[in-house]
Amino acid sequence: MVSTHSADTVGSLGLSLRGYDLLDNPLYNEGTAFTQEERDGFGLNGLLPPHVFSIDEQIKRRMDALRALPTDFDRHVFMRELQDTNETLYYALLTRNIEELLPIIYTPSVGLGCQRFSRIYKRPRGLFLSLPHKDRLDEIFANPRFDTVECIVVTDGERILGLGDLGAGGMGIPIGKLAIYSAAGGINPATTLPITLDVGTNNAILLEDPMYIGLHQRRTTGQAYDDFIEAFVQAVMKRWPNVLLQWEDFHKTNASRLLERYRDLLCCFNDDIQGTASVTTGALMAAVQITGEALVDQRIVILGGGSAGIGIADLIKRAMVEAGLSDSDAARRFHIVGRHGLVTDATENLEPFQKAFVQDRRYVADWQLDQAGQIALLDVVRNVKPTVLVGVSGQAGVFTETIIREMARHVARPIIFPLSNPTACVEAQPASVIEWTDGRAIVGTGSPFAPFEFQGKTHTFAQTNNSYIFPGVGLATLAVKARRVSDGMFLAAARALAALSPARTQVGAALLPPLNEMPRVSRDIAVAVARQARAEGLTADLSDAQIDALIDAKFWRPEYSPYHYVEGGHR
């Protein structure tokens, strides 16, 4: 389908597609921007209106149409359809309007997009691999269309955002994540592949829905599930031995153990664990620069004892240890609150990944409790007097006024991060947090919220979203051909993000950079991550100048390419 350049077409890409075959290929379609010479060469005359438009004019037309739509969900569908029609135009729209469109293509709109995925599904994107495909994965992956794949995002749809099991509808998440990889991290969309592993769903509404596109059966678990994952990983390694694979939105019972099982076998990471940890650590590092207190002095309460909450604790603890604390002293700075209250050595049925952060029951023996036998979040806040409160629970409104006011009684500048997505699941409205703390809180949220005026001051809320982290990590990993993705690389990403905080140099400025600067942020993070990979021996011994050059060369930008026709292709 694509040829090399001929001598008389230097700088032009040779294609063997013609007519509707070219217009139906979203990677190469340029729509009304095809030049007259290209229309002559590819048999497009009559298939397009006669006027040739620039990409700037196309962007204006599409943005006008998008802004005229009544709801963000309609805009989400509009963007998905544009992505399936003309990817270059889609990414040009996105990169030039990223602050406006990121909430449309990803959180919070993607949550509803996943819930309604079966209703809005129109044309194939990525791969749906179901249990009956277990012994046919090599055959599926062998399609020449996938020869250029370098980056995969995969989900099994069991824990989509804070919405739970959405089965095959979870495909909206890998599609959205890879769109951000390309828009913010410069990863060529031709090299990306979203995958959903369909092992069934326990969502009764979906199972009863005749329009549901996934397997109509309850989730397969246990050894059969593990065997399917193993077959998938082995087939991926065989087809793409140097691929970067991102695990996404797996249930906590699988997320950590799959990461630990495979992280040393192929280049992979879990964004819910490591990406969330990195952006939260980076935001916290920026916040303590505002408060003037050291990271090692923070008392941290995390609501949500799943893989995301423990991942956050792990990475911040690593930073504390590097700053001089012992591992045990650093671990004691964290208080994890799960569904049964504070996690202690008396808590039953702990997951293996939670055990590093249990509190000794003797430590809490003399605490004053509202109710004997369970140490609730308010009890923890009252007794610990935390400086930092993080929410990754998916429970809307659980950071109550009583809890926030109790925290603010003891801390001059409380750092409060209600991070759950989408907005319907956020632990507290950030405007309420500002009111309850008399404007003293430093607030970060997982989804976008509008600025809030309080007592004559405008409070902006840092969108503490993984989108700041994983595009740069992916860009670095692919650019320098890192063999693995380490926790040290995610800590390097966090430090690079904190260094870009506008609040470092401006009083009252935002905690994190504006979203419209995400490509620049991703590049800076990529440089820091690549240098950390070099320091850990995970890539070649490259100079700083070589790292910079490789990252710049890898960074794809959404611009139309000139084409010329080559014989022997599809007609």
Give the three-class secondary structure for 348.
coil
Q: Which of 177, 252, 317, 554 is catalytic?
A: 177
Query: Cis before residue 108, ω within 30 degrees of 0?
Result: yes
421 annotated binding-site participant: yes
Residue by residue, what is the 3-state secondary structure of 447-462?
Answer: CCCCCEEECCEEECCE
Q: What are phi and psi of 24, to 5 degrees?
A: -90, 0
- Number of Cβ within 10 Å of residue 371's Cβ equals 10
Q: What does the alpha-carbon distance between residue 45 and residue 41 come to, in Å, rounded to a whole number? A: 9
Q: What does the alpha-carbon distance between residue 399 and residue 163 come to, in Å, rounded to a whole number? A: 19
Tokens at 179, concatenated: 């769109």
Residue-wise over 254-287: b if at least 16 C-beta within 10 A, else e? Answer: bbbbbbeebbeebbbbbbbbbbbbbbbbbbbbbb
Q: What are phi and psi of 483, to 5 degrees?
A: -80, -25
Residue whose tokens read 């060469």: 41
Residue 399 C-alpha from the chain's centroid: 24
- With CA atoms as reference, report the closest residue to 360 among 336, 384, 343: 343
Tokens at 381, concatenated: 């806040």
Residue whose tokens read 């990590």: 473
Q: Which of 28, 90, 91, 106 is catalytic?
A: 106
Tokens at 308, concatenated: 């995301």
Residue whose tokens read 């700083």: 544
97 annotated binding-site participant: no
297 annotated binding-site participant: no
- Number of Cβ within 10 Å of residue 358's Cβ equals 17
Does the active-site annotation cover 106? Answer: yes
Task: Decide if 398 contacts 360 (C-beta within 8 A).
Answer: no
272 annotated binding-site participant: yes
Task: Decide if 330 contacts 321 (C-beta within 8 A).
Answer: yes
Give the three-class secondary structure for 99.
helix
Q: What does the alpha-carbon distance between residue 87 and residue 389 come to, in Å, rounded to a whole number? A: 40
Q: What does the alpha-carbon distance between residue 390 and residue 388 come to, in Å, rounded to a whole number? A: 7
What size, in residues, is the chain? 571
Q: What does the alpha-carbon distance between residue 98 and residue 104 come to, in Å, rounded to a whole number? A: 10
Annotated binding site: 159, 248-249, 272, 421, 465
Annotated binding site for a divalent metal cation: 248-249, 272
Catalytically active residues are: 106, 177
